[in-house]
Amino acid sequence: MKTAPGHTWFKLRQDRVGLLGLAIVAVFFLLSLGVLFGWLGQGWSVADGGRWEPASVNHWLGTNLLGQDIFQRAVFSTRTAFEIGLVVSLLSTLLGALLGALAGWYNGKPGQSWVDGSILWLMGVLDSIPFYLFVAAVAYALQGWPWAMHVAMIATFWTTTGRLVRAEVMRIKSREFVLSARTIGLPSPLILFRHVLPNTQHILLVQATIVFVAAIKTEVILSFLGLGVQDGVSWGLMLAESTQEVLAGHFNNFLAASLMLFVLLLGFNLLADALQDAFDPRQASL
C-alpha cells in the first residue's frame, strides 16, 4: 500500500541513513554534471606523465601504465556511470511500467487475457537466459555497436519492475475509484494510464534506484570482459586495467576506481532502502 506523498517525505527526512545515501548520490551527481559541462576531469585521456608515477602535486593519485592521470580518470568516470545508470534505469523502468501495466490490466479479462499471457511469457523467457550470456549474444549480434550493453541491460532489467507493476495494477483495478471511472464511461487506456499507473509510482521510484545500482555494477563486469564501454573511460575499464597492475604492485588505479564505485553504490543502496521504507509501511515494519 502507498502512503501519502507528504508523509513519505516526512519519513524520508526522519531516516538519517537514507539522507546520508541521498547526500552521497547528490555529490556524485554534481560531480558528473561538472564533467558534463567540462569543468572537471577533462584531462582524463592526456598522457603527460611517466608510467605508474606515484601520487604527486601534478597527478593527485599518480598515473597509470600510459601515464594518464588516475584522479582525472576516476572523476570523469562518474559521468560514464551516471550516463549508463540513468539511461538504463529510465528506459527499463518505462518499459517495465508499460508492459507490467498492460499485463495487469488485461489479466483475467475474457477474450483479452492473451495480452497478459504473452507478456508473462516474454518475462519468463528473458529471465531464463543467463544474463551475461544474453549480453554476449546481443554484443555478438550487434558487433561493436557501443549501445549493445545498454540494450541488453534494458531488455533484461525491466522484467522485475514489470512483475511488480503487474501485481499492483491487478490490485488497484478492483478499487472503487477505478470502478467509478469505468461506470462514468471513461475509456480503458485513459483509466489505466491516467488513474491506475500513477498509483504505482512508489514501485517505479524504488525499482529505478535498484536498477541504477545493477546497471553500474554490471557495467564493471562487462567492461572487464570487453563487452562494456567501448570508448571513453569508466570505473569498470579502470578496474580491468588494474587487474594486471596489482600483480606488479601498482594499486592506485584499483583503489581509486573501487573506492568511488563503492561509495556511490553504497549511497544508492542506502537511498533505495530508505525510499522503500518511506513508501511502504508494511515493509518498514519487517
Minimum CB distance to another protein, residue 184 (Å): 39
Stretch of 27-35, 73-81, 141-149, 164-172 contacting another protein, by CB under 8 A: 141-149
User: Would you put residue 232 in left (φ > 0), alpha (ψ -120 to 50) or beta?
Assistant: left
Residue 266 engages another protein in binding (rule: CB under 8 A): yes
Minimum CB distance to another protein, residue 116 (Å): 14
> Grid coordinates standing for 167?
501485481
Tell me which of 217, 230, 232, 284 binds another protein, using CB under 8 A.
217
Residue 223 in contact with residue 236, Cβ under 8 Å? yes
Cα–Cα distance measured from residue 216 to residue 7, given in angstroms and rounded to the nearest whole number = 31
> How many other C-beta atoms can be found within 10 angstroms of the C-beta atom of residue 241?
22
For residues 35 to 64, the per-residue mask of contacts with another protein, x marking binding by CB under 8 A and - elsewhere, is ------------------------------
- The C-alpha angle 255, 259, 264, rounded to 5 degrees, equals 155
Residue 100 in contact with residue 120, Cβ under 8 Å? no
> Grid coordinates standing for 57?
602535486
Size of the site for another protein (CB under 8 A): 49
Minimum CB distance to another protein, residue 128 (Å): 5
Residue 1 engages another protein in binding (rule: CB under 8 A): no
- Helix H, strand E, coil C: the string for 148-165 is HHHHHHHHHHHHHHHHHH
Tell me which of 137, 175, 180, 194 binds another protein, using CB under 8 A.
137
Q: Which residues of this chain interact with another protein, rule CB under 8 A?
A: 121-122, 124-134, 136-143, 213, 217, 220-221, 224-227, 236, 239-240, 242-243, 246-247, 249, 251, 254, 258, 261-262, 265-266, 268-270, 273, 286
